[in-house]
A and B are shown apart, each in its own frame.
Chain A
Amino acid sequence: MSSETFQITPKEKKMMQNKIVQVWRFIVLNLKILKAVDHSKRS
């Protein structure tokens, strides 16, 4: 599988420490884990 070259740009570095963006990413990460857990618990 080929993939585009990925670089961490100065803009992305800023976003990584932006508290509002990171609160959103924290919520998204938890939602993703809950989706996987939901399947797991039903087995």
Chain B
Amino acid sequence: MAKVVLIGAGFAGQTAALYLGKALGKDHDITVINKYDIFGYTPSWVWVGVGQMAPEKTVFKLKPVYDKFHIRFVQGTAKSVYVDDQYVLVDKADGGEEQVPYDYLIIATGARLNFAGTPGLGPHDGYTTSICSLPHAVDARDKFFQLMERMEKGEKVKIVVGTGHPGSTCQGAAFEYITNIHKVLLKRGLRDKADLMWLSNEPALGDFGVRGVHIKRHGKLIGSDEFIRAIFDLYDIRWQVQTGVRKVEPGKIYWENYEGVEGETEFDYAMLIPQFLGPGFTYYDKDGNDVTSKLANKGGFVLVDAIYGLPWDEMAHRPEAWPAVYQNPTYKNIFAAGIAFAPPGPISRPFTNPNGLSITAAPPRTGMISGIIGRVVALNIIDLIKRGRMTHSERMTEMFAACIASMGDSLWDGSAATIVIYPVVPDHRTYPNEEGRDLFVTDMEMGLAGAWMKRMIHSTFMHKLQGRIGWQLIPE
């Protein structure tokens, strides 16, 4: 009987748990360790953050799902991993510690939010809001409502949305948040009271950490920079890219740009995405030595079967630099899925300014990408247990992703910008065009259809991740 342990129950962990539970749950030990007893549907926290969706509609209890799939659930925080003795040390939520033994370990913890990386950032010890966790989104909503009360009394305000660290990712979520703020203010008749500004570390508008997108429409080549600029023009949103936020003080954001110029932006309300870090566990060998350097990079992300250390220009033309099976090369029974794995480098071109500050959008690995990796890792562990060899692989140069930025949630007159990218990481060998992508699938458009897509994806993912009937038919 094999023991499979998953740390984390986000998109990657939950997807992997369902596949493992279905295939192995009755005959093997499957255990999920998670800090919370609920699953949270991250993409809809954008709606929670503007008061357009009740928080409880974005969560469900994990235990009933795991009971159905014969999975053991340990609520607690994983602290360290003993790689030779093969167990995870957990601080349990109800007190005490537990050693959870494994034969195969999947680390799928999601992101550790590094608010400390930018002084003054974040809702706890800082002056900005966040939509990166459900409590953060609720806090962002409450502060946004307070702001609207001030606006209703006639006050004019400055709202800044974007990235809060020179190395942040998830610009898509921030973009969606600013367009939703625009829509809510418009609906409340308050739009003329707000100066909306986009502040981001992207090399160009619409880059989203994936080197942007180009599509052909009516014989014209349209870039995502033009597309997003047109939306911002339409919505009267000011923008500034190539900017790394260094510090936040009450009402003031301090930044540096590509030219090395330092400046500040005033705000009454700001939602800035922090830097993401990896799990940050300590790993020990059988003698109690710290072997973390064999398992994780400086950011705490788990090292897997990627080619690390390549110059960016070389990496950008070598699809095999991206991992295929997400397996640690030293400890082959340890896998990482979702944000937890260490990518070989950024997808967007990195940049260091004259002051030596790296302003580089980190590669997005959330949502659909996390789900796909969770599936690949789970199917390979099932393979290893049943057949002794892995048969599944999928690099980010083979994955698709859809970024649907809603602008109002109504199914009758709502709208959304839909950007479908395939593959996520350009592959110039398979797609020998300038874009390095499939130009039939890769698309971007704006309209009511996007609002329908967004709602459909929310409902189908919540259905799938609860392991309800037909869950396997719904793609990650």
**Which of B27-35, B175-183, B437-445 lies on the face that meets chain A?**
B437-445
Partner of A1, one of B402, B413, B434, B476: B434
- Segment of B102-110, B120-128, B147-155, B227-235 in the binding face: B227-235
Asked if A37 meets B447 with Cβ closer than 8 Å, knowing A26-B453, A29-B418, the reply is no
Q: For window 2-43 of chain A, which residues contact chain B by CB distance below 8 Å?
A: 2-8, 15-17, 19, 21-23, 25-26, 29-30, 32-33, 35-37, 39-41, 43
Contact indicator A40/B448 (Cβ below 8 Å) = no
Contact across chains for B452 and A6 when beta carbons are under 8 A apart: no
Contact A37 B475 (CB under 8 A): yes
Once A4-B221, A40-B400 are accepted as A-B contacts, the answer to whether A35 and B449 lie under 8 Å apart by CB is no
Does B113 count as interface, using CB distance less than 8 angstroms? no
Residues on the B chain within 8 Å of A3, using CB: 214, 220-223, 225-226
In the complex the two chains form, is A25's CB within 8 Å of B445's CB?
A: yes
- 4 more A-B residue pairs beyond the given contacts A7-B233, A29-B453, with a C-beta to C-beta distance below 8 A: A3-B226, A4-B226, A17-B448, A35-B440
Output the residue of B223, B234, B476 with the most chain A CB within 10 A. B223
- Residue B376 CB within 8 A of the other chain: yes
Question: Contact: A36 with B447, CB < 8 Å?
Answer: no
Count of inter-chain pairs, beta carbons less than 8 A: 96
Q: Contacts A8-B230, A33-B402, A43-B392: A16 and B446 contacting too (C-beta < 8 A)? A: yes
Q: Which residues of B contact A22 (CB under 8 A)?
A: 447-449, 452
Q: How far, in Å, is B18 (CB) from chain A's closest CB?
A: 15
A contact residues around B450 at 8 Å (CB)? 29
Q: Which residues of B contact A (CB under 8 A)?
A: 214, 220-223, 225-227, 229-231, 233-234, 372, 376, 392-394, 398-400, 402, 413, 415, 418, 420, 422, 434-435, 438, 440-441, 443, 445-450, 452-453, 475-476
In the bound complex, residues from chain B placing their C-beta under 8 Å from that of A21 are: 447
- Residues from chain B with a CB closer than 8 A to the CB of A6 are 220, 222-223, 226-227, 229-230
Q: How far is the CB of B36 from chain A (nearest CB, A)?
A: 29
Q: Which residues of A contact B227 (CB under 8 A)?
A: 6
Name the prevailing secondary structure of the A interface residues.
helix
Closest to B414 in A: A17
CA distance A40 to B396 in the complex (A): 10
Evaluate contact between A36 and B221: CB separation under 8 angstroms: no
Q: How far is the CA of A22 from the CA of B449 in the complex (A)?
A: 5
Are A19 and B448 in touch, CB under 8 angstroms? yes
- The 5 A-B pairs with the shortest beta carbon distances in the complex, nearest first, are A36-B400, A16-B447, A6-B226, A3-B223, A25-B449
Task: Tell me the complex Cα distance, A25–B444, Å.
Answer: 11
Question: Do A4 and B449 touch across chains, with their CB atoms under 8 A apart?
Answer: no
Kindly list chain B residues whose C-beta atoms are within 8 Å of the C-beta of A17: 413, 415, 447-448
**When the two chains form their complex, are residues A39 and B398 in contact, meaning their CB atoms are under 8 A apart?**
yes
Q: How far is the CB of A33 from chain B (nearest CB, A)?
A: 6
Q: Is the CB of B446 within 8 A of A32?
A: no
Instruction: Please tell me which one of the listed residues B234, B376, B415, B438 contacts residue A43 in the complex, with CB atoms under 8 A apart.
Output: B376
Q: Is the CB of B449 within 8 A of A36?
A: no
- Whether the Cβ atoms of B420 and A36 lie closer than 8 Å is yes
**How far apart sit A5 and B233, CA to CA, in the bound complex (Å)?**
13
Please measure, in the bound complex, the distance between the C-alpha atom of A37 and the C-alpha atom of B227, giving whole angstroms. Answer: 25
When chains A and B are docked, how far (Å) is the Cα of A4 from the Cα of B226? 8
- B222: A residues at CB distance < 8 A: 3-4, 6
The answer to whether A16 and B475 touch (CB under 8 A), given A29-B443, A35-B440, is no
Q: Are A5 and B226 in contact (CB under 8 A)?
A: yes
Which single residue of chain B is at the shortest CB-CB distance from A3?
B223
Shortest Cβ distance from A25 into B: residue: B449
Question: What are some 9 contacts across the A-B interface (CB < 8 A)?
Answer: A1-B435, A3-B221, A17-B415, A22-B452, A25-B445, A29-B453, A32-B443, A37-B400, A37-B475
The answer to whether A23 and B434 touch across the interface, beta carbons within 8 angstroms, is: no
